[in-house]
Amino acid sequence: MIKKILKRILLFGILIALAIIAFLYWGTYESGVMAGKVLRISEKGFMFKTYEGKLSLESFGALKGVSPVAETFDFSVESSESQIIESLNEVALSGERVNLHFKKRFMTFPWRGETKYFITQVERAK
């Protein structure tokens, strides 16, 4: 009887833990658009290859000239998104202004990317 109750409690605990991990992995905390010029896109990593990039926000007003770090946006791209990676490489070389649609995840995972921000679409400015 006690073994049966302990097994159910253990099973319930495992299911709750899996649900929390799934939520942290696939859950979206924020989504939006950032505009600017792509400074770089590169493949990084030793064991887990990830794509990381930096966007120059070309800010104005209060942040203008304060710090180059305050005027950039770091992002990641999932390895499976070859179309987005190709588009980012093109706009980084051309220096054109783009709108990057992104999703912010709750956590980072080493095989996914270094940042919580993942690009979902590259929109070239007209």
pLDDT tens figures, 22-67: 999 888 889 999 999 999 999 998 888 899 999 998 765 555 555 5
CA angle 26, 33, 118 (to 5 degrees): 35
Contact assessment for residue 49 and residue 113, using Cβ atoms and an 8 Å cutoff? no
Domains of the chain and any CATH numbers = 28-124 (2.40.50.860)
* Distances in whole angstroms, Cα of residue 126 to Cα of each of 94, 97, 111, 113, 123: 14, 9, 34, 30, 9
pLDDT tens figures, 84-102: 999 999 999 998 899 999 9
Confidence of residue 113 (pLDDT cuts 50, 70, 90): confident
Beta strands in 1-126 (DSSP E): 28-44, 50-56, 72-77, 97-105, 117-124
In terms of Cα–Cα distance, which of 124, 119, 27 is closest to 81?
A: 119
pTM score, whole prediction: 0.79
Is the pLDDT score of 126 beyond 80? no
For position 59, what pLDDT does the model report? 61
Rounded to an integer, what distance in angstroms lies between the CA atom of residue 98 and that of residue 110?
Answer: 27
β-pair partners for 54: 40, 74
For position 110, what pLDDT does the model report? 86
